Structure 1
Amino acid sequence: MASAERNLLLNFLTLASLSILCADTAFSIRIPDRISSIPRELSEPSLKTAVLSLGSFWRSEAVFGCLNGVVRTTAGYTGGSKINPEYRSLGDHAESVLVEYDPKAINFRQLLEIFWSSHDPRQVFGQGPDVGNQYRSIIFINGTEEARLASMSKEREQTKSRSSIVTTQIQQLGSFYPAEPEHQKFELKRHPLLLQLIGNLPENELERSSLAAKLNGYAAELCPPRTQKQIDAKINEIIRKGWPVLRDV
């Protein structure tokens, strides 16, 4: 399904179901108070984490959410010294994304490949129209092997062009602070129909949902083409069957 057709479909269905959505009090998204500013424990011990900064965390979270092997994503702040940073008061932190992934399905090296291909590491002090220290490019490392892989990948990236310098920093991971609820799954929240299709999850469930992570990438049209088509097919199937809840893609 082409991008224009997908947008028309989502817009049409949103309008067609507006009366249903307005009547359903469960449709409102519940946003609890921010619970914690310390790194959360992994829910599955077999998972690993990677933390990367590549510009706005709205887009960064969507970039990684659709990858096979990525289980969850969280937008947040890290790389600075300020305690309990907030969106309007970041201090010296960078907008970042924490990626929880299954190392049997995807590895740190592959995540770095997506990192390099998803932003301009040669742009100084920002990304695209977003200018500022909070949008700087950083690979956060946790251990010798990650440090080695990060350094090697940066060297490879630099060899692609000697006319400009790769500005990406490689930095030891410190505290990661999850961003406020309104910044989590931002691209997905711009499409109320998709939220409706997965059952209007409470905010805390939405943040931790693997399905929401994938749909966040889908909503931003950042999934691999094959995955985008699979999700298109699932949505069309739901329409044919009469609006059941979307459980997986």
Structure 2
Amino acid sequence: MELSRVLLVGLLAVGVLFVKEALGIRLPDRNPPVATADHRQQHLEVAVFALGSFWRSEAVFGCLPGVVRTTVGYAGGNKTNPQYRNLGGHAECVKIEYDPKVIQFKQLLDVFWSSHDSRQVFGQGPDVGDQYRSIIFTNGSLEAGLASESKEREQTLSKSSLVTTRIEQLGTFYPAEPDHQKFELKRNRFLLLLMGNLPEEELQGSTMAAKLNSYCAEFCPPKIQMQIYNRISEIVKRGWPLLREL
């Protein structure tokens, strides 16, 4: 009886491995390998912006050189632990973790201004509501000064209407529910499979996932958009090995 049980377990293990290899499914590792691009040793800075729906906002920044991680969430309100259907005055926003040696806060500000209508009141595009208001959250006086200067420049370009963007000191940032993270990428089941069906935590911390999220929304610069497309096509032609880097 014991021998039969051992043989059955062995056959099941072989079957699981066969399915895993055949379908490219990634099973959780008991001892996951250390990431080759470990950003924990880097000095990263954080920027938080609100510019409408955070699904779109995350995709706007994810493909920029120097951006390591993106997270959508809530800030600017008074409710502890807000939820998507119960915001308590918070705005939808995106947190950007970036390498200041590659990209500067001033450059992120430029992308912020060019990616939404800062003159629109009580919403952004088709999304209406206070949760979609325009805000630059700052960390300290240096960022506050840069944000104010950029707002003044933006106002000079819009003499006929008032720039409604607010500049606020960043308080607590509350990450949004998992369903809202990497929203555009999660709509593309093929790419998730090609990445190996990463666990939620690993997907959320992945630089590649941030870039692919932007790619799915077609927000990468044209040259990078084409490079990613070619990389994916190459992987598929070779027989669907896992996509580890772009």
**TM class, shorter-chain normalised?**
0.7 to 0.9
Residue of structure 1 equivalent to 2:152:
155
Residue of structure 2 equivalent to 1:121:
118
Post-superposition offset of 1:43? 3.8
Structure 2 counterpart of 1:84, one-letter code: N
Write out aligned runs for 1:136-155 (5 A): 136-155=133-152
Q: State the alpha-carbon separation in 2 of the partners of residues 146 and 43 from structure 1.
A: 23
Q: State the alpha-carbon separation in 2 of the partners of residues 93 and 202 from structure 1.
A: 28
Residue of structure 1 equivalent to 2:233:
236
Write out aligned runs for 1:6-155 (5 A): 26=25, 43-44=40-41, 46-155=43-152
Structure 2 counterpart of 1:114, one-letter code: V
* 1:215 and 2:212 aligned: yes
Q: State the alpha-carbon separation in 1 of the partners of residues 243 and 119 from structure 2.
A: 40
Moved over 6 A (4+): none
| Counterparts in 2 of 1:163 and 1:94: CA distance versus 1, 3 Å | same
Post-superposition offset of 1:27? 7.6
Q: State the alpha-carbon separation in 2 of the partners of residues 172 and 160 from structure 1.
A: 25
| RMSD after superposition | 1.9
Tell me, yes or no, if the aligned pair for 2:24 and 2:240 is still in contact at 8 Å.
no
| Counterparts in 2 of 1:198 and 1:96: CA distance versus 1, 3 Å | same
Give per-residue Cα distances to partners, 1:16-35, cap 9 Å, x unaligned: xxxx99x969589xxxxxxx
| Counterparts in 2 of 1:183 and 1:126: CA distance versus 1, 3 Å | same
Q: State the alpha-carbon separation in 2 of the partners of residues 106 and 248 from structure 1.
A: 20
TM-score in terms of structure 2 length = 0.84
| Counterparts in 2 of 1:199 and 1:228: CA distance versus 1, 3 Å | same
Other structure's SS at 2:198 match: coil
Other structure's SS at 1:196 match: helix
Tell me, yes or no, if the aligned pair for 2:66 and 2:100 is still in contact at 8 Å.
yes
TM-score in terms of structure 1 length = 0.83
Gaps of 5+ in 1: 1-19, 29-41
Larger radius of gyration: 2
Residue of structure 2 equivalent to 1:39:
none
Post-superposition offset of 1:237? 0.6
Q: State the alpha-carbon separation in 2 of the partners of residues 137 and 67 from structure 1.
A: 21
Residue of structure 2 equivalent to 1:203:
200
Tell me, yes or no, if the aligned pair for 2:25 and 2:193 is still in contact at 8 Å.
no
Q: State the alpha-carbon separation in 1 of the partners of residues 111 and 207 from structure 2.
A: 19
Post-superposition offset of 1:248? 1.2
Gaps of 5+ in 2: 1-18, 28-38
Other structure's SS at 1:222 match: coil
